[in-house]
């Protein structure tokens, strides 16, 4: 299928060409259009230098002037990236240093894979495909532009990009490309954590199944180099790894953090923390993913309402939906006919760390927990009808033990929410203080 560009892309192209500068649509949009997939990010490559581009359009944004990229705001309100032709001049494996170039041929020559190095002239409706990317697309082959080892040593990120594109489009990685990737896989550690993280998040937010890509991570050795903890669980428990990938896939693509938590779920908490630290996520995001990855499963059918309240209190009621979705994803992966362990049904679910409940019981537990949450029971110390000041007015001396008393009161109230009344709490607080005083003499003189 030939690419059909939005009218605004034609308008930008025509404007540049009328000023004497050859301009082509390049990259992902051309590839996706040839595959018959809708593409939104239409990038243009042009002979014009950034200054010229800025002078030709009324509304522009200097997105990355030093890399030659100017954002042109079209009348339909979309920002299109227009980038001056470039070529690699120097590379260190971590980044490619580029310079402006004069021809589209130069520009395509610095691109990573043949399928990403196809140019489409949206006005002349003409393809420029010097590396036979169209044939590779048709034959389902992922191949580097030029010698694989050279291209991968110029920028190691291209190894991960190869895995992602092959996984996303179900392409076979051409033999030389695969050999080159395998040969340089150890060098992935030289990449900045931010680039590695952004790649992983792209894999996890991929609209198409991330499973194939993650399996390619494993097969290529990239998993062992970047995520040795995951490689260990995979080799120790291949069925569990397979179930984990299926669980990732059962989670929505718009929730990469849930998917990341699912991927890390089989790991012990300290390893989860180590992986997240290495990825340099923000502290808040790291904390959230770690909590999702390491939370105990929802209380099962046999549990009491008090068990459910304790679970909500410990894990945060605001995480109920995310955690239920995670449990459900693992349950479906283990039990559904489509799941990887469908063949093991008679023997029960595959052994993952959190031996998953059946999907029906996760849904039951989720509904019960939602009903309990809606009844708004006290779930944290701040929900108690008694605070530190109240303890002082009971004659206790302030100190760190207040925390123990309040935690003790919360545990008592989680057991039975109707106990959350001032007089009952005061009486209980005195009992707790007494008990704690017995346990730790010297701390107490209240
Ligand atoms: P996606 O749908 O994931 O955005 P894409 O092909 O558009 O896929 P981008 O990362 O947006 O990928 O890059 C746009 C284009 O720039 C690519 O198609 C490729 O031609 C080129 N490119 C991007 N990163 C590299 C790289 N590290 N080395 C060489 N070429 C690259
Ligand atoms: Mg893109």
Q: What is the per-residue pLDDT across 217-274, written as a single tens digit (0 to 9) for each?
A: 999 999 999 999 999 999 999 999 999 999 999 999 999 999 999 999 999 999 999 9
The three-state secondary structure class of 273 is: helix
Q: Report the predicted TM-score, pTM, of the whole model to 2 decimal places.
A: 0.90
Residue 291 · residue 316 · CB < 8 Å: yes
Among 25, 26, 28, say which to mutate for ligand 1: greatest number of ligand atoms within 8 Å of CB.
28
Lowest mean pLDDT: which of 73-77, 112-116, 144-148, 242-246?
Answer: 73-77
Sorting pLDDT into bands at 50, 70 and 90, what band is 343?
Answer: very low
Q: What is the CATH architecture of 140-226? A: Orthogonal Bundle (1.10)
Nearest CA to ligand 1 atom 11: 28
Q: Which residue has the tokens 């346990």?
A: 439
Nearest CA to ligand 1 atom 10: 28
What pLDDT score was predicted for residue 349?
43
Q: What is the DSSP string of 164-182?
A: HHHHHHTPEEPHHHHHHHH
pLDDT at 353 > cutoff 80: no
pLDDT per residue as tens digits for the range 137-172 = 999 999 999 999 999 999 999 999 999 999 999 999
d(CA 415, CA 304): 10
Ligand 1 within 6 A of CB of 157: yes
C-beta neighbour count of 181 within 10 angstroms: 27
Sorting pLDDT into bands at 50, 70 and 90, what band is 40?
Answer: confident
Measured in Å, residue 52 CA sits from the centre of ligand 1 at 24
Q: Which residue has the tokens 């581009």?
A: 53
Q: What CATH number belongs to 1-137?
A: 3.30.460.10
d(CA 244, CA 210): 12
Note the ligand closest to the C-alpha atom of 95: 1
pLDDT per residue as tens digits for the range 259-316 = 999 999 999 999 999 999 999 999 999 999 999 999 999 998 889 999 999 999 999 9
The three-state secondary structure class of 297 is: coil
d(CA 11, CA 190): 42
Sorting pLDDT into bands at 50, 70 and 90, what band is 337?
Answer: low
What pLDDT score was predicted for residue 440?
59
Sorting pLDDT into bands at 50, 70 and 90, what band is 355?
Answer: low
Q: Which residue has the tokens 């009971």?
A: 394
């Amino acid at each position: 299928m030939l690419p059909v560009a939005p009218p605004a892309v034609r308008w930008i192209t025509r404007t540049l060409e009328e000023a004497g500068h050859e301009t082509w649509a390049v990259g992902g949009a051309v590839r996706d259009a040839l595959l018959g997939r809708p593409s939104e990010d239409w990038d243009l490559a042009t002979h014009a230098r950034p200054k010229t581009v800025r002078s030709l359009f009324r509304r522009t944004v200097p997105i990355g002037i030093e890399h030659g990229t100017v954002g042109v705001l079209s009348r339909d309100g979309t920002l299109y990236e227009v980038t001056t032709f470039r070529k690699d001049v120097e590379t260190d494996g971590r980044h490619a240093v580029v310079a402006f170039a004069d021809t589209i041929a130069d520009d395509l020559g610095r691109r990573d894979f043949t399928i990403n190095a196809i140019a489409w002239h949206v006005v002349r409706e003409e393809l420029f495909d010097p590396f036979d990317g169209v044939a590779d697309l048709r034959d389902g082959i992922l191949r580097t532009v030029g010698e694989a080892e050279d291209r991968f040593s110029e920028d190691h990120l291209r190894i991960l990009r190869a895995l992602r594109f092959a996984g996303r489009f179900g392409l076979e990685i051409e033999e030389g490309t695969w050999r080159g990737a395998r040969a340089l896989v150890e060098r992935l550690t030289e990449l900045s954590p931010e680039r590695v993280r952004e790649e992983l998040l792209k894999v996890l937010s991929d609209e198409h199944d991330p499973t194939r890509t993650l399996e390619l991570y494993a097969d290529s050795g990239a998993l062992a180099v970047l995520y040795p903890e995951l490689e260990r669980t995979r080799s120790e428990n291949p069925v569990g790894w397979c179930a984990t990938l299926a669980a990732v896939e059962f989670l929505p693509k718009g929730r990469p953090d849930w998917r990341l938590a699912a991927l890390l779920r089989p790991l012990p908490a300290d390893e989860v923390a180590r992986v997240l630290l290495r990825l340099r996520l923000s502290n808040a995001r790291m904390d959230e993913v770690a909590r999702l990855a390491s939370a105990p499963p929802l209380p099962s059918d046999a549990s009491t309402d008090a068990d459910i309240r304790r679970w909500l209190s410990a894990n945060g009621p605001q995480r109920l939906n995310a955690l239920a979705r995670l449990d459900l994803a693992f349950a479906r992966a283990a039990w559904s006919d489509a799941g990887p362990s469908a063949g093991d049904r008679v023997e029960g679910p595959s052994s993952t760390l959190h031996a998953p409940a059946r999907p029906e019981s996760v849904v039951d537990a989720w509904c019960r927990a939602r009903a309990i949450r809606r009844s708004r029971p006290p779930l944290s110390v701040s929900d108690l009808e008694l605070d530190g000041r109240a303890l002082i007015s009971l004659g206790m001396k302030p100190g760190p033990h207040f925390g123990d008393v309040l935690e003790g009161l919360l545990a008592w109230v989680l057991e039975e929410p109707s106990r959350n009344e001032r007089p009952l709490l005061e009486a209980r607080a005195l009992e707790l203080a007494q008990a704690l005083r017995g346990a730790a003499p010297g701390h107490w003189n209240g």
